[in-house]
Amino acid sequence: MLKQSSWLSVGIVAAIIIFLNMIASNISGRFDLTENDVYTMSDVTKNILEDIDEPVTVKIYYSEKFPRQLLTVKQYVFDLLQEYKSYAGSGLEYEFSEIGEGSDDIKQEAQGYGVSPVQANIRENDQLKVQNIYLGVAFLYGDKKEALPFIQQIEQLEYQFTGAIKRLTQGGKTKIGYITGFDEISIDPPNPYAALQGGNQQKPVSIKNLLTQVNSQFELTKIDLNTTEKIPAEIQEAIILEPKKEYSAKAKYILDQFLMRGGKLGVFVNRHRVDFQNAILPIMPIRFGLDDFFTKYGFKINDNLIVDKQSAQVQMMQQLGPIQLPVAVDYPFAARVTNFNEDNPIVSRLNETVFFFSSSIDSIPTPNVKFTPLIQSSEESGFAMKDPQRGMYNINPQQPFAYNQSKLNLAAIVEGKFQSNFATRPDTIAYPDAHLSEATMDGKILVFSDADFVKDEYSGPQNATLFMNVLDWLVDENGLISIRNKKIENRPLDKEILAENAVGTRDFIKIINVYLVPVLVILFGLVKWYIRRRTKQLASVA
């Protein structure tokens, strides 16, 4: 009888488990225990999905044979789309298309939408083979489309999905003005026929890698302040990227009136031009003529050069016996920045970035204007000294530095109702609109004392993320940037544990991680077995 009762209990438990699995298979949900709510749908996404007026079709293309390392990503894509559907309702439809060996039509369709395969190692019949695999998404809305060619990670997926849907359903890419006319970094492709046309070869684009990301989400509109009368009304955000010539009075007035109507401006400037190939004058000052102009708005970019003990390394040639070899050395002019404003989404979730040959930014008390530090140097930083004989900075790292400063401002936000730099419109300047002597609404300026960090030769993943965060914040400080900054925090071991003399500590941590859980499970089983055995013994005695 006892045996039959046991089998009955097992059958009931099995039935309950099967029933719960059947229910769970039809429910999309998850518990999110991550610090940054990586797996929780944001309110920004929910609002955008609820405002869709006509259906968005999402096509997912994935390979039948899939590498194990991407199975989690694939499943997350499927789950995320189900969650999007639950909030969008009839505003979103999705289709799954599996691509196998004989799916030439589906492959052609996928590539037509912009979904491309990548090569990956797949184990088949105990052999490792290199095959083309698909895991891409196409978004269709009327006659418009956007695509994510291949998805490799989940951290930015909600940002990418929501951004694509927003651009399709809410008027396309946001236009951002790119100020030109004073030898800024070029965003034009190089002209290979310049020499044949009798001109000089146009300098190659130095931010090509960054532009690929920018152009996928925004539309950069060049605005030459030498030839235009005003910044167009549809442009609400603009950026200045490394001007190397002095701004004219007309250009200053156009920028001033842009800020007076509530425009948002991103300013990335260098105080010095560095050329490592020039042994005679490796560093020269840059005069862009905006010092007094910026002072009126509540900040000043100082004419100095910051050095930081917390620095990145560079390769330098050193003489070792009869030969020269490249050696990695700390370079104080390349500050390894980790002091970020934790309350601002532009930088709050960055771990580290590198600023090159930067200068300090000071706040100037100004009525109705707020100055907020965004990025600062380390607690052991200072200023480089000029060579008294040559009157220029020595940028060789093999010299003593005085690290007697702390947390110098490298980037800041200046916002409020600015006062115009001009009491009236100058008679020599033709401007189509009435003069504004004070701002009609709050304006914003994001100022960086380094423009090198966006260039291909210096830029890294964190640098590119920082620049994209700036653009997102300028466009909508409470919008997509809140999704973009979701990430799984990396929790590395302390430096003391990673030291060479801490091998025993590392081995102990490995043992705990590998064996602790199994041992606890075994102990729990033994305790449970002992309690049941003891209970039976007591029952038999009674």
Compute the mean pLDDT over every residue in the chain, rounded to the nearest whole number. Answer: 84
pLDDT at 121 over 50: yes
537 shares a domain with 459: no
What was the pLDDT predicted at 313?
87
178 shares a domain with 149: no
Residue 519 counted as domain residue: yes
61 shares a domain with 131: yes
pLDDT category, 127, cuts 50, 70, 90? low
375 shares a domain with 270: yes
Share of the chain above pLDDT 70, in %: 85
Residue 509 counted as domain residue: yes
What was the pLDDT predicted at 194?
52
Share of the chain above pLDDT 90, in %: 45
* CA dihedral of residues 437, 438, 444, 445 (deg, nearest 10): 40
What was the pLDDT predicted at 35?
57
Greater model confidence, 279 or 173: 173
Taking CA 289 as the corner, what is the angle to CA 288 and CA 292, rounded to the nearest 5 degrees?
140
If one counts every other C-beta atom within 10 angstroms of the C-beta of residue 72, the result is 11
The DSSP annotation for 102-124 comes to T-HHHHHHHHHTT---EEEEEEE
pLDDT category, 513, cuts 50, 70, 90? confident
288 shares a domain with 414: yes
pLDDT category, 2, cuts 50, 70, 90? very low
What was the pLDDT predicted at 541?
65
Q: Which of 67-81, 246-260, 370-384 has the lowest mean pLDDT?
A: 67-81
CA–CA gap between residue 145 and residue 164 (Å, rounded): 9
φ/ψ of 363, rounded to 5, equals -85, 140
What was the pLDDT predicted at 498?
58
pLDDT at 125 over 50: yes
pLDDT at 478 over 90: no
161 shares a domain with 64: yes
Give the domain range for residue 120. Answer: 43-169
What was the pLDDT predicted at 6?
55
113 shares a domain with 97: yes
Greater model confidence, 278 or 100: 100
List C-alpha distances in Å: 118 to 105, 287, 321, 322, 431: 18, 47, 47, 47, 53
pLDDT category, 359, cuts 50, 70, 90? very high
What was the pLDDT predicted at 202?
46
pLDDT at 78 over 60: yes
Residue 318 counted as domain residue: no
Q: What is the mean pLDDT of residues 476-488?
A: 74
Mapped onto helix, strand or coil, the DSSP state of residue 139 is strand
Residue 257 counted as domain residue: yes
What was the pLDDT predicted at 119?
84
Structure tokens at 362: 């000071």
477 shares a domain with 374: yes
26 shares a domain with 49: no
What was the pLDDT predicted at 102?
79
pLDDT at 281 over 80: no
pLDDT category, 386, cuts 50, 70, 90? confident
Residue 393 counted as domain residue: no
Question: Scanning the structure block, which residue is given the tokens 């964190």?
Answer: 462
Q: What is the mean pLDDT of residues 85-90?
A: 90
What was the pLDDT predicted at 228?
94
Domain boundary among 467, 485, 503: 485
Q: What is the mean pLDDT of residues 101-124?
A: 85
Residue 316 counted as domain residue: no
Q: How many domains does the chain fold into? A: 4
Q: Which of 4-8, 227-231, 332-336, 343-347 has the lowest mean pLDDT?
A: 4-8
Q: Which of 255-269, 318-332, 345-359 has the lowest mean pLDDT?
A: 318-332
280 shares a domain with 250: yes
| Sequence-distant (≥ 6) Cβ neighbours of residue 158 within 8 angstroms | 41, 42, 45, 80, 483, 486
* 43-50 vs 157-169: helix crossing angle, rounded to 10: 30
Chain length of the chain: 542
What was the pLDDT predicted at 377?
96
pLDDT at 167 over 70: yes
Q: What is the mean pLDDT of residues 297-316?
A: 92
293 shares a domain with 185: yes
What was the pLDDT predicted at 521?
80
DSSP single-letter state for residue 267: E
275 shares a domain with 208: yes
Question: Scanning the structure block, which residue is given the tokens 């500590």?
Answer: 505
CA–CA gap between residue 231 and residue 238 (Å, rounded): 9
Residue 391 counted as domain residue: no
Residue 112 counted as domain residue: yes
CA–CA gap between residue 362 and residue 418 (Å, rounded): 17
pLDDT digits (tens, 9 = 90+) for 390-445: 778 888 888 889 999 999 999 999 999 999 999 999 888 989 999 999 999 999 99
CATH number at residue 453: 3.40.50
What are the strands, taking DSSP E only, across 388-490? Answer: 392-393, 409-416, 443-448
Domain boundary among 455, 485, 515: 485
